[in-house]
Structure 1
Amino acid sequence: MDILLISEYILIIALVIFMLAAVRIITHRTIAMGLIGSATFSLAISVLLLTVGAIYEIEFYKDIALALLILGVVGTIAFSMALRRN
Structure 2
Amino acid sequence: HSHPKKSMVTILREWEEPRKRTFLLHIAFSPTKQMERNEWFVEKATEIGIDRFTPILCSYSERKEIKRERLDKIAISAMKQSQQS
TM-score (normalizing by structure 1):
0.31
TM-score (normalizing by structure 2):
0.31
Q: Specify which structure has the bigger relative contact order, considering alpha-carbon pairs within 8 angstroms and separated by 6 or more residues.
A: 2
Answer 1 or 2: which has greater strand percent: 2
